[in-house]
Amino acid sequence: MDVLFNQLFSGLSMASILLIIALGLAIIYGSMGVINLAHGELVMLGAYATWALQHFFGFSILLALPFVFVAVGAVGWLIEKIIVQRLYSRPLDTILATWGIGIILQQIVRIAIGPESRFVSGPEILRGNIQIGNVYMSNYRIFVIVLSIAILGATWAIMTRTEFGTKLRAVIQNRSISECYGIESERIYSLTFAYGAGLAGVAGALITPLFSTIPTMGTGLVVNAFLVVIVGGLGSLFGTALAAVLIGQATALFSIVMNDTLGRIAVLICIILLIRLRPRGLFPGKTRN
């Protein structure tokens, strides 16, 4: 029983990180229809930025977080400005271009920093565990869960409660009409892409104490995050959140019953079946067509 709870708890913390990655993807896909296959590499950049800040300046993860958010967000902004913006009329090509960007980022890091894994230590303040019965919950993992909920809330507020969010939703509904009303859709897109990328960076920073930091770490994460986005239903923030928890927990549970790899495969099969039954996800957006 305790094994089960311990697994569920660690599943929940992984789900939280998955949620932050998936949120970024969902925002980028939901607003401009771009499947950003470089998203995993943005997570990787976030992880390396955290490592660099700690290694060279002695920053703890908590202190590094805002810097990483801004830095990776800036990288995302550049990617959007230079490449993605030219491809909005060709959705399949954005997949390819972002895939290529992913390779480029991976290679740059491999050449500049090296292929071996890097270690980042967790923050001092959050060392230690909380013990309930025989279930150990590390403070750091609790922090990750709380932070991801906060990010979900903040994103929701930005989308629904700010002028930027209103403009973004207008552009999503109808780009050309919005432009007629003076909304600069290009700027909105750039900022949205940058925000999504910044979230990937934050996820990368948070994952460093739990995962080894290597140039290829993004690939597996991004596939999982995509599945979360698809299962959650496009354009639904809370659908994304629920799907992240479901997939995180299902992976954790299957892993107890079978082993890690088979667990992941079983989850994947379930997801494919689910997509067959509900092609538009669990919580599809409410618009017609």
Partner 1 sequence: MTKKLKYDLVAYALFAAVIFLAVPAYLNFEGYELNTFARYLSLGIVSLALALSWGTAGILNLGQAATFGMGSYAMAMHLKLKSSQGLPDFMSWNNVEELPWFWVPFHSLSFTLLAGLLIPASIGGIIAIFMFRARISGVFVAVITLAFLVAFQLLVIEQQGYTGGQNGLTGLAPLTLLGWTVDIYSLSFYYLIAACLFVAIMIGIYLVHSKFGLILRAIREDADRTRFFGYNVASYETAAFCISAALAGWSGMLYTLVLEFASPTYMSVSFSLAIVIWCAVGGRESIIAAAIGAIVVNLLEVRLSDVFVEGWNLILGVTFVLIVMFMPRGLHGVVAGANDWIARRKDSRVSNAKHSNLKSRPEIKGGQ
Residue 264 lies near partner 1 (rule: CB under 8 A): yes
Q: Do residues 31 and 169 touch, judged by C-beta distance below 8 A?
A: no
Q: Which of 14, 30, 282 is nearest to 155 (CA)?
A: 30
What residues between 47 and 86 interact with partner 1 by CB under 8 A? 83, 86
What residues between 139 and 198 interact with partner 1 by CB under 8 A? none
Residue 288 lies near partner 1 (rule: CB under 8 A): no
What residues between 187 and 226 interact with partner 1 by CB under 8 A? 219-220, 223, 226
- List 227, 241, 242, 252, residue binding partner 1 (CB under 8 A): 227
Of the pair 180, 277, the CB lying nearest partner 1 is at: 277
Q: What are phi and psi of 37, to 5 degrees?
A: -75, -5
Sign of the CA dihedral 248, 212, 137, 124?
negative
Q: Which of 219, 211, 264 is nearest to 17 (CA)?
A: 211
Residue 97 lies near partner 1 (rule: CB under 8 A): yes
Interior/surface letters 29-64, b for 16+ CB within 10 angstroms, e for the rest: bbbbebbbbbbbbbbbbbbbbbbbbbeeeebbbeeb
Residue 279 lies near partner 1 (rule: CB under 8 A): yes
Residue 8 lies near partner 1 (rule: CB under 8 A): no
- List 8, 35, 63, 253, residue binding partner 1 (CB under 8 A): 35
The count of other CB atoms within 10 Å of the CB of residue 142 is 17
Provide the minimum distance between the beta carbon of 90 and partner 1 in the complex, in angstroms, as a whole number: 7
Cα–Cα distance measured from residue 131 to residue 143, given in angstroms and rounded to the nearest whole number: 15
Provide the minimum distance between the beta carbon of 27 and partner 1 in the complex, in angstroms, as a whole number: 16
- List 126, 135, 253, 275, residue binding partner 1 (CB under 8 A): 275
- List 4, 107, 174, 187, residue binding partner 1 (CB under 8 A): 107
Sign of the CA dihedral 255, 256, 262, 268?
negative
Residues near partner 1 (CB under 8 A) are 33, 35, 83, 86-87, 90-93, 95-97, 99-101, 103-104, 107-108, 110-111, 219-220, 223, 226-227, 230, 259, 261-262, 264-265, 268, 271-272, 275-276, 279
